[in-house]
Chains A and B, each alone.
Chain A
Amino acid sequence: MIRNMSQIKRLVLDVLKPHEPTIIQLANDLGDVDNVDGVNLSLYEVDQQTENVKITIEGSDISYDMVERVIENLGGVVHSVDEIAAGKKIVEEEETLHDR
């Protein structure tokens, strides 16, 4: 029986990167990765040497390894994978009593 890998449809990453290259270049390079339909980067913290960026990627079959390679090649580090959606469709997080 051949087991198919689930297709990653959405990734939300917390990334630490140097100031150069800019998030513009990072967004362009991530957008060029195969099967990536769209990328959203938002800067939420800056210090003298580095900046923290939240990266949201959506696509049909995202390769996490490729995404990580692009980020690392541009000097970044993935601190954490904050959200991931895989499968045939994107399933949104459901609010429970805990969250209210």
Chain B
Amino acid sequence: MNFNIEEGRYIILGSVDGLLATLGIIIGVSIGNVKNSIVVGAALGGAIALAMTNSLGAYLAESAVEYGKLTATEKSLLRKLENTYVESLTRKKIMRDSAAHGVSSFIGSLVPISPYLLSTGSPIMSIVLSLVALALLGFYSGFISKRNYIVSIIKMVGLGMIVVIMVNVLKLGR
């Protein structure tokens, strides 16, 4: 699959969203000796809902922005671009970006859930796997931006750790 820079935006957005939100659910639900099935149920439910809302949200946002750009082009050309190849490119971009956001969100969610799916998981394993995934995403981010890979990885992992700490602090408060 050939991703361009525009899709890279939604892949990073969706992956980080799915990964950290689901990790938050797992940390929050994991109290004492909670059953695997409860954690998986809660996390998967959240993952599916997140993927659908991300996809729908991206579809609505991209439709507004891309059709706005198309209208501006129509004004300059003094003609409508309905039913042209140009409009079909716009529609395809909207669908591609929506799919990228939703699918990457769901795939990101599977990372912290995977220890619970494959064996008796623990929040620690989910956190470690998530931080590794964030490091990979940081590498991808560096690849897209053509900037310092180390800085991108540190940013991504650092932000992930802040989320993990915040969720744990809130959990301890109960």
Contacts and interface: CB of A to CB of B under 8 A. Distances in A.
B-side interface mostly: helix
B78 A18 contact: no
Interface in A32-77: 47-50, 72-77
What band does the interface of chain A fall in when counting residues whose beta carbon is under 8 Å from B?
A: 10 to 19
A48 to B, nearest CB: 8
B73 A50 contact: yes
B146 to A, nearest CB: 22
A77 B86 contact: no
A50 B85 contact: no
B89 interface: yes
A8 interface: no
A62 to B, nearest CB: 21
Given A18-B77, A50-B77, A74 B86 contact: yes
Contacts of A75: 73, 77, 81, 84-86
A30 interface: no
A74 B84 contact: yes
Contacts of A50: 73, 76-77
A49 B76 contact: yes
A48 B75 CA distance: 12
B174 interface: no
B42 interface: no
Interface in B43-101: 72-73, 75-79, 81, 84-86, 89
B85 A49 contact: no
Contact of A21 (B72, B73, B79, B89): B89
A21 B76 contact: no
A11 to B, nearest CB: 20
Given A17-B77, A75-B77, A77-B79, 9 more contacts: A18-B73, A18-B76, A18-B77, A20-B86, A21-B86, A49-B77, A73-B84, A75-B73, A76-B77
